[in-house]
Amino acid sequence: MPLKLSNLLDRFINSCPFFTRHCVLCGKANFAIGICEDCQGELPWFHGPSCPRCAIPLAVAAPLCGQCQREPPGFDRLDAVLRFDFPLAGLVHAWKYGRRYELSGVMADVFTLNVDNFGEKPDLVMAVPLAPARLAERGFNQSEVLARAFAATLASPFSADGVWRKRNTPPQARLTLAERRRNLRDAFGVDPAVKGLHVLLVDDVATSGSTLSALALALKKQGVKRVSARVLARAISSKT
């Protein structure tokens, strides 16, 4: 492991009795990743086959799900660490809306689990940007927390300003699929310097995947070669 300041800090914190971490789910004292090993086992992991393109679970293994065959998304591949389900959904909600900023470290830890299984290393890691009004209201971009941690773990560059929202769009979660698409039309600005790169987009939760898809299309319009996406959680919803 390369000798990085963050590694040294981690080692110091993990060995210091004043910094004992407690599992955010059961409260047990824990030196590992903020969720103890027992509770990690209770997280909503994916079991069985899923679509390699959009990460939706499949009854039997197949090269693509029906939806991706009918209408392929803008991104080339989506990986989801977990399903958006109990008990993760409550933690994500508390993190984003309940001002539980201390959950950032735990979420980043979970997001960077199993990085060794990650495929082709991207040239650039980016977070799905928040609209300015949303960022002001929430105080932080949860996707950026995950993206920065993942870029550091992969030792890939992270770009904080390569993509941005051009306007304040209504939250996707309250909209139908048709409204989501309308909402996202021409919603993103992209720095032309991304041309020819393999970009990894990071988001906290994918529901229909329409935000990631629209952003991937905006990147490809600027000549991005490949767009991978990774989310902390994939919601299995009827809105897909």
Residue number with CB closer to Zn ion (53 or 83): 53
Residue number with CB closer to Zn ion (75 or 111): 75
238 burial type by CB count under 10 A (0-12 exposed, 13-18 middle, 19+ buried): exposed
Interface residues toward Zn ion, by CB under 5 A: 23, 25-26, 28, 36, 39, 51, 53-54, 65, 68
Residue number with CB closer to Zn ion (23 or 128): 23
Q: How far is the CB of 239 from Zn ion (least distance, A)?
A: 14
Q: How far is the CB of 20 from Zn ion (least distance, A)?
A: 14
- Compute how many other C-beta atoms are within 10 angstroms of the C-beta atom of residue 50: 21
Residue number with CB closer to Zn ion (54 or 80): 54
Q: How far is the CB of 174 from Zn ion (least distance, A)?
A: 24
Query: What are the phi and psi torsion angles at 234 (to 5°)?
Result: -105, 120
Q: How far is the CB of 54 from Zn ion (least distance, A)?
A: 3
Residue number with CB closer to Zn ion (109 or 191): 109
Q: How far is the CB of 71 from Zn ion (least distance, A)?
A: 10
Sign of the dihedral through C-alpha 140, 144, 146, 150: negative
> How, if at all, do strands 158-159 and 77-83 pair?
unpaired
Nearest to 126 by CA among 102, 107, 151: 151
228: Cβ contacts below 8 Å, ≥ 6 apart? 75, 76, 77, 78, 79, 119, 120, 122, 198, 199, 200, 201
